[in-house]
Amino acid sequence: MLLQLPGQRQLDLSQPAVMGILNITPDSFSDGGQHLSPAAALRQAEQMLADGAMILDIGGESTRPGAAAVSLQQELDRVVPVIEAIRQRFDCVISVDTSKAGVMSAAVKAGADMINDVQALQGDGALACAAELNVPVCLMHMQGQPRTMQQQPQYDDVVVEVIKFLQRRALDCQFSGISKDQLILDPGFGFGKTLSHNYQLLAGLEQLVKLGYPVLAGMSRKSMIGQLLDIPLDQRLAGSLACATIAALQGARIIRVHDVKETVQAVQVATAVRYGVKA
């Protein structure tokens, strides 16, 4: 399973790849305020790549529950200098975590290789922009909007409904000119889901995998771990590793995390179980 990147490059997803989270925000739920300057972001990027990350996901707007929106210019000012700095320094896959068409365009021009959109290209101009940019796109499911998504989310069957939404959205993208082999699907753990919904989705993740698209799973340090185990953010590593391992065992091809080194090791074990050990 190869993902076509700009410049005739490819990302091999025949086995799971770890995506390191790099938030250039003051208010992200886990690492907000830690990497606001390009220099600080560059140090963190270097560490995550050394720890085994295959992809760096750069975000300039928090999508945590209750998060306030930021302006286009604010988001550009946060992410573009960081993407430029990383691209100049490292030969790695760079993802931009945004829902704004203007940020998508500027980020790809600055050196980003792919788009990670929590709104699945439903924002103004996003679908047309992504099609024109001709880069891979991750489509995520979210019920509601970040500020309100955790206010009593409801489903008749969360697994079926998430799969149907993502399947329909993937087809919409293909009709708009984005090729199937450039699409990645993300069920959106923690985005408009209760604790029970999240674990139903994790248990049924292989049903989404069977659609044939690479699946991204992001559960690192999220409240689905904190609520279940009744522990704060700084104690969620073990739960995050358990979630990453389960996702990889079910066929997820991209695991999005904060703790790269530990996750790479856990995913290597899961990969050996699912895909075998290379002689």
Active-site residue numbers? 222, 256
93 in Cβ contact with 86 (< 8 Å):
no
E-only strand ranges, the chain: 2-5, 9-12, 17-23, 55-59, 93-97, 114-117, 137-140, 183-186, 216-217, 254-257
Helix (H, G, I), strand (E, B) or coil at 186: strand
Q: Compute the residue count for the chain.
A: 279
End-to-end CA distance of the chain: 20
